[in-house]
Structure 1
Amino acid sequence: MPFPTLLNDTFLRACRRQATAYTPLWMMRQAGRYLPEYRATRAKAGSFMGLATNVDYATEVTLQPLERYPLDAAILFSDILTVPDAMGLGLHFIEGEGPRFARTTADEVSIGQLAVPDMDRLRYVFDAVTSIRHALAGRVPLIGFSGSPWTLACYMVEGGSSSDYRKVKTLMYARPDLMHRLLAINADAVATYLNAQIDAGAQAVMVFDSWGGVLADSHFVDFSLAYTQRVLRQLKRQGVDGTDVPRLVFTKGGALWLDAMDALDCEVLGLDWTASLARARALVGGQVGGRGKALQGNLDPNVLFAPPQTIAREVQRVLDDFGAPHADPNRCGPTHIFNLGHGISQHTPPEHVAAFVEAVHTLSRRMR
């Protein structure tokens, strides 16, 4: 069954560095615990994985923020760790602690047993993508995603979240050959996974390099960036609609390496709140009529705990940091997609999100 015609392509136009009437907006983790309706659906599902693996529930929660706010993109409700789970590591979630794996992979034997998983084990993700595309009815585009090879490796070696990354960095320094083997498998698995999302209907795909910023400067390119690039080079460039599929990369703490990231085979670079959009635009944003990267970000998520007038002021600060929007309808040029610098906090008041969305759309229109 063909998908409905897309009605709001502002986000995709910005990804392509085309002029837009306002700055498009979506939020990382926009379907989440800050919404009471999400908490109610999760309670029905019984667990996070019960929610993520049920196509109807995943569709429902993906659309929940769009029912409240005029956002410019939807993002698939899933988790960055579905790929290693499909490799047999046994993903589960512990309340208050986050994701955990029943088995880790940190030595020659366990890494030697890894392979790109059978994508049928992730059929629930692809079915959710297709279901969401139809449920959106063309309202906005749908973004698919995965964790980056390095970020997945961190969880796979540590067994869950980490405060010091001691185990994964010990492996990297002591046995770089094993780490490269693990990262290569992860990269090929992520590429296969994202291509399957594209085949299922994703209109853009994003790689979350959530832990790239924990690497030493001398190791970021070799152990994170190179494998993100390996993913990007394998991705399909055309979706099931016959249109191009923009590729987005977000590296938390990655502003140090913008000059190196300029070479990534992607259309959009996401930035956290520690980065200067002005500097990023000068380094990688390109000129009108020339090549460059669209930029995404980068409001501090904690701004959303402040009063609405403060939120509006900080939104304007981010818009001013990026600078005058590209407005030539006939040529490509520097563009900005508004987002938070990381995922929205579960404690965020929903009414503050409404003030945030309104501020971005209203203030960015005034700048054009």
Structure 2
Amino acid sequence: MNQNVENSLFIRAALSQQTERPPVWMMRQAGRFMPEYWEIKNKYSFLEMCKTPEIAADVTMLPVNLLGIDAAILFSDILVTPEAMGGDLSFKEGVGPRFSNPVRNRADAEALGTDVVDKLQYVAEAIKEIQSRLNGSIPLIGFAGAPFTVLSYLIEGGSSKDFKKTKYLLHNDPELAHFILSKITKVTVDYLNMQIDAGVNALQLFDSWAQALSWDDYNEFSHQYNKEIISKLNRKGVPIISFAKGSSVFYPLMVESNPDVISVDWNANLRSLKDSLPAGIAVQGNLDPYIFYADKSVIKKRIEQLFESMRGVDGYIFNLGHGIMPDFSFDKVKYAVDLIKEFRY
């Protein structure tokens, strides 16, 4: 790892080392709230953007150049892995991701491929292109979707409000659910290790729909697979962030998967959660993203309250409890980043 990156605020905080202020990056920081993103998006489909290394690099660099954040995150999508496995994926404006061939039975599940890293080489190429542009200035975060979240998209055929089909599968045919989850897990391990080989400086595992699960179902159908993935990563010097919508509930299990960082949703008191974690596990979060609809004075007050509560903690990365919304004011996000960068413990 580049010496500058190794000593960066983000890597030090992720490895629970002391920092003079919290590093800042935000989920969906290279997204639809930026006019510059739309200048690119209006020329290409979303999948073209993900699959063309130069375009993925252009989008990744937008928040680096325009916001001045402390870590870049690869521009891609969690659904590139199930697409490589055989899912027929499309993205439709106003609808979101769709699989035209959802997995509904054993035959569908058996048709899913697991030796698919060759199909994902465009991601490795994007990582190399981004790193050449970053030139050691800040770390680059790679990522993947966690198996349960990916499973839910494959079963539902897209996003879901109630996860009815997914839960039907978990409760009525758990053996088939585990068969699919095992396949996704193998692909995810291979994919994340490919990203490490290509040069990412950190990784985040996104379990975006974990909050749909009960405690016991999370333990059986999500946690054990996340734990397996993290245990099989070539993670020397590469911090692993575990994110779940639901982390304020599930963090005692998340700890058992041995991540370097737990990314916390906005429902928790971050300091009390951090104080309950074992030494050596950092936290990331957890400002409610919807604060950005408020006035700047409110944004300032909430960030300062959060930072005061985390004073004296080693291992804290500022982020939102979830991603930036498309209609956020760029000006307010930039204001928040500048405010954070001025803060000193």
1:53-72 paired onto structure 2 within 5 Å: 53-72=51-70
Counterpart code for 2:203: V
Equivalents in 2 of 1:22, 1:91: separation in Å?
A: 41
Work out whether 1:312 is the aligned partner of 2:312.
no
Question: Could you tell me which of 337, 342, 345 is aligned with 1:362?
Answer: 342
Equivalents in 2 of 1:117, 1:313: separation in Å?
A: 49
* Bigger shift: residues 109-118 or 129-138: 109-118
* Bigger shift: residues 271-280 or 190-199: 271-280
1:65-144 paired onto structure 2 within 5 Å: 65-144=63-142
Equivalents in 1 of 2:312, 2:112: separation in Å?
A: 46
What SS is found at the alignment partner of 2:280? coil
Equivalents in 2 of 1:341, 1:62: separation in Å?
A: 20
Partner of 1:251: 244
Equivalents in 2 of 1:353, 1:302: separation in Å?
A: 11
Gap regions ≥5 residues in structure 1: 239-243, 327-333
What SS is found at the alignment partner of 1:23? coil
Counterpart code for 1:312: K
Question: Could you tell me which of 155, 158, 171 is aligned with 1:157?
Answer: 155
What SS is found at the alignment partner of 1:269? strand
User: What's the offset of the Cα at 1:254?
Assistant: 2.1
* Bigger shift: residues 250-259 or 157-166: 250-259
What SS is found at the alignment partner of 1:125? helix
Work out whether 1:280 is the aligned partner of 2:273.
yes
What SS is found at the alignment partner of 2:301? helix
Work out whether 1:325 is the aligned partner of 2:290.
no
* Bigger shift: residues 109-118 or 210-219: 109-118
Q: After the TM superposition, which parts of structure 1 deviate over 6 Å for at least 4 consecutive aligned residues?
A: none
Is this contact kept in 2: 1:53–1:124, CA < 8 A?
yes
Is this contact kept in 1: 2:6–2:12, CA < 8 A?
no
Count of aligned residue pairs for this structure pair:
345
Is this contact kept in 2: 1:3–1:134, CA < 8 A?
no
Partner of 2:232: 234
What SS is found at the alignment partner of 1:144? strand
Work out whether 1:337 is the aligned partner of 2:335.
no
Equivalents in 2 of 1:177, 1:270: separation in Å?
A: 30
Work out whether 1:296 is the aligned partner of 2:289.
no
Is this contact kept in 1: 2:117–2:191, CA < 8 A?
yes
Gap regions ≥5 residues in structure 2: none
Equivalents in 2 of 1:123, 1:292: separation in Å?
A: 33
Is this contact kept in 2: 1:213–1:253, CA < 8 A?
yes
Equivalents in 1 of 2:33, 2:21: separation in Å?
A: 26
User: What's the offset of the Cα at 1:213?
Assistant: 1.0
* Structure 1 residues 63 and 249, CA gap change in structure 2 (3 angstroms): same
Is this contact kept in 2: 1:10–1:24, CA < 8 A?
yes
* Structure 1 residues 283 and 34, CA gap change in structure 2 (3 angstroms): same
Equivalents in 2 of 1:3, 1:130: separation in Å?
A: 14
TM-score (norm 2): 0.97
What SS is found at the alignment partner of 2:257? coil
Is this contact kept in 2: 1:15–1:335, CA < 8 A?
yes
User: What's the offset of the Cα at 1:292?
Assistant: 3.0
Equivalents in 2 of 1:147, 1:317: separation in Å?
A: 31
Q: CA RMSD in A?
A: 1.5
User: What's the offset of the Cα at 1:186?
Assistant: 0.7
Is this contact kept in 2: 1:83–1:117, CA < 8 A?
no
Partner of 2:166: 168
Question: Could you tell me which of 260, 263, 267 is aligned with 1:267?
Answer: 260
Is this contact kept in 2: 1:148–1:228, CA < 8 A?
yes
Is this contact kept in 2: 1:34–1:345, CA < 8 A?
yes
Q: Show CA shifts across 1:278-305 (max 9, x none).
A: 2211211x4xxxx331000011111112
Q: Show CA shifts across 1:308-364 (max 9, x none).
A: 11111010122233x3224xxxxxxx321000111101101111011111222223x
Equivalents in 1 of 2:282, 2:126: separation in Å?
A: 28
Partner of 1:22: 21
Partner of 1:241: none
Partner of 1:37: 36
* Bigger shift: residues 260-269 or 25-34: 260-269
